[in-house]
Structure 1
Amino acid sequence: MTANASSTPPVSTSPLPLHAVVADDFNAVNRTIVEQLNSRVPLVATISQYIIESGGKRLRPLLVLLAARALGYDGDKHIALATLIEFMHTSTLLHDDVVDESHLRRGKQTANDSWGNAPSVLVGDFLYSRSFQMMVDVGSMRIMAILSAATCVIAEGEVQQLTNIGNPDISEADYFETIQGKTAMLFEASSHSGAVLAEASPEQERALQYYGRYLGLAFQLIDDLLDYQGDANAMGKNVGDDLTEGKPTLPLIHAMEKGTPEQAKLIRQAIRKGGLEQLDAVMDIVNATGALTYTRARAEEMADKALAQLDALPASPYRDTMAKLARLAVERKT
């Protein structure tokens, strides 16, 4: 799989229905992605293109566009801001797949499976570096402060998740702290930076910051629920992957709390050992203790909190789409 950077094919420019209200902006982001993937090293463009085209919903750049437009922004720097945030996200995916030794993402081979760990890590570094180059072009010290702080929190969240692997003593509070860092932080930074770009009022800026945070938490909670309830073909990954890796996510934490001592002991052993040998038994306990119902309820709670933040925005199709996005967070099957 090789390609010359100068002949990199264009990224797909067909927006999802959710992107319709910002379709022109979204297409401009796609064009900017192609332009900014240019590198004198062909493998950089090849791997970057591969992961960016791997079927993601581009929710984080969408948040930038919606937040800015919802506040009446009529400039063009939101395009660069949305693009650089997509690069930040893509770099974390490349690094995550190496750390997790993943072979499948969104139904496709991971980049590390196709090209190896070293190229994947280094291309992830390239995308992070490119995002900071573009941050300078956006020209806002406040936005740079928000995004540079976010990268530290995200990195801490990833390390925290790594140290949690195989540890059945993680509390629900520990779990939420971890997913706030590794997932919700970039959602939060996306909507927050879009608000700053649009020169939001303090109330609106805070509302959009927290909208992104709660939305990100809702998405991660449903991701963790779907790992025990989803369809492997629809998700593009295997059911039970979190258990395989020994990750103590909320369904397991709640099942241990509400189950019998024997049930808690079995789950604790499964987390410590990893693998799928006890998946069926763990699934039985998760279902018997209502852990998936509880996890969904917490996700719905976060989505409701995200929706409440939108009261600070004027009525518009952009605000309506942000409301739809909050509902999608808990209704989705993938």
Structure 2
Amino acid sequence: MASIVPPNVVPFRRDRAPSLDPMIQLVAADMNQVNAVILARMQSDVPLIPELAGHLIAGGGKRMRPMLTLACARLLDYSGARHHKLAACVEFIHTATLLHDDVVDGSNLRRGRRTANLIWGNAASVLVGDFLFSRSFELMVEDGSLRVLRILSGASAIIAEGEVNQLTAQRRIETTEARYLDIIDAKTAALFAAACRIAAVVAERDDATEEALAAYGRNLGIAFQLVDDAIDYASDGATMGKDAGDDFRDGKVTLPVILAHARGDAAERKFWRDAMEGRRNSDEDLAHATRLLRDSGAIADTLQRAHHYGQLAIDALAGLGGGVARAALIEAVEFAIARTY
């Protein structure tokens, strides 16, 4: 599929499409250790738990968040092994939130596969999500650092707050851009920030390094979510691995919608209100919404903002070393902006 990046958004790279491959290669050996922890800790005497958890964990995700923990540790020349369990902890937190999100959203597809809630039901998905959260806290405690525990447990609470904030904003076309940014900062960026920050803790670096890595992760997370929200209208189900237009039909007031509604005439604003309140949700309505988003520049401006936050993420790495680790972290940002899935 052609890139969704519009002509007025200047890409980070011009020589080739950015990729996660440099980061994957950088942390490959460490990731083998993380995967071993994940496999061991998702086991249970109750067969449904590893079966359901394994369905999502093995479902083709990029494992970007745990890879960020490992890559940031490499950036700081950390040579120990604490980050293996902590990266697994980050992945368990993320997987638990996905299980819960799919129940809340009533999703049928995740990464191109049927969702766990569709196969095993909502109750099982919620309870296995709870199990994975519990496993993540076990791993935090085993690490023995109160600082790590504070960072990751705090992120878990912030993620939950963000999801509740998003739920209460659902179908409310009057949702402001500021509130939208608060929502994505909490539900997405908080875990990116925590995943990066804990690398500085295990490497025993100073507060300034912690803050720099947290800023890198947070801005990357915001950029990542902005692109996700644009993709929901500018891509297709086969590319995304989920049903196209899910946000539209669920009445999620994301930045593209906020911008298009603000720029629309009276008829267009009425359309957006009707759509977000559930009265206009057919395929034809989705196609009309996509045209309005393109014509108003809402998708282009959402991607431009993603580019801005991506640059902030790259800037946060200044002074934290160089080499292949820094290059991989920078290209991860470029990938997050340029991806179409």
Shared topology, TM-score over 0.5?
Answer: yes
Report deviation, 1:17: 5.2
Residue 93 of structure 2 corresponds to residue 81 of structure 1: no
Confirm or deny: 8 A CA contact 1:183 1:220 kept in the other structure. Answer: yes
In 1, the alpha carbon distance for the partners of 2:67 and 2:195 equals 8
Partner of 1:8: none
Partner of 1:297: 304
Equivalent runs, 1:125-140 vs 2, <5 Å: 125-140=130-145
When the two structures are superposed, what TM-score results if normalisation uses the length of structure 2?
A: 0.92
In 2, the alpha carbon distance for the partners of 1:274 and 1:186 equals 34
Residue 56 of structure 2 corresponds to residue 51 of structure 1: yes
Partner of 1:203: 208
Q: What amino acid is the match of 1:291?
A: A
For residue 312 of structure 1, give the secondary structure of its aligned residue in structure 2. coil
Equivalent runs, 1:164-313 vs 2, <5 Å: 164-273=169-278, 276-277=281-282, 278-313=285-320
In 1, the alpha carbon distance for the partners of 2:22 and 2:68 equals 14
Aligned CA distance change for structure 1 residues 65 and 270 (closer, same or farther; 3 Å): same
In 1, the alpha carbon distance for the partners of 2:78 and 2:106 equals 42
Equivalent runs, 1:32-43 vs 2, <5 Å: 32-43=37-48
For residue 317 of structure 2, give the secondary structure of its aligned residue in structure 1. helix
Aligned CA distance change for structure 1 residues 98 and 326 (closer, same or farther; 3 Å): same
For residue 27 of structure 1, give the secondary structure of its aligned residue in structure 2. helix
Tell which deviates more after alignment, 259-268 or 246-255.
Answer: 259-268
Q: What amino acid is the match of 1:221?
A: L
Deviations 1:26-52 (A, max 9, x none): 111111111111211111111111110
In 2, the alpha carbon distance for the partners of 1:239 and 1:39 equals 35
Report deviation, 1:276: 2.6
Residue 26 of structure 2 corresponds to residue 28 of structure 1: no
In 2, the alpha carbon distance for the partners of 1:89 and 1:275 equals 32
For residue 273 of structure 1, give the secondary structure of its aligned residue in structure 2. coil
Report deviation, 1:323: 0.3
Residue 91 of structure 2 corresponds to residue 60 of structure 1: no
In 1, the alpha carbon distance for the partners of 2:198 and 2:280 equals 40
In 2, the alpha carbon distance for the partners of 1:211 and 1:71 equals 14
Q: Among residues 139, 142, 165, which one is paired with 2:147 in the alignment?
A: 142
Report deviation, 1:261: 2.2
In 1, the alpha carbon distance for the partners of 2:214 and 2:22 equals 24
Tell which deviates more after alignment, 259-268 or 143-152.
Answer: 259-268
Confirm or deny: 8 A CA contact 1:21 1:317 kept in the other structure. Answer: yes
In 1, the alpha carbon distance for the partners of 2:207 and 2:97 equals 30
In 2, the alpha carbon distance for the partners of 1:39 and 1:275 equals 45
Residue 119 of structure 2 corresponds to residue 114 of structure 1: yes
* Residue correspondences, number: 320
Deviations 1:298-317 (A, max 9, x none): 00000000000111311121
Deviations 1:28-78 (A, max 9, x none): 111111111121111111111111011111011011101111111111010
> 5+ residue gaps in structure 1?
1-14
For residue 238 of structure 1, give the secondary structure of its aligned residue in structure 2. coil
Q: What amino acid is the match of 1:91?
A: A
Aligned CA distance change for structure 1 residues 327 and 274 (closer, same or farther; 3 Å): farther
Q: Among residues 314, 327, 334, which one is paired with 1:327 in the alignment?
A: 334
Identity across the alignment (%): 45
In 1, the alpha carbon distance for the partners of 2:136 and 2:171 equals 33
Confirm or deny: 8 A CA contact 1:67 1:191 kept in the other structure. Answer: yes
When the two structures are superposed, what TM-score results if normalisation uses the length of structure 1?
A: 0.94
Aligned CA distance change for structure 1 residues 71 and 18 (closer, same or farther; 3 Å): closer
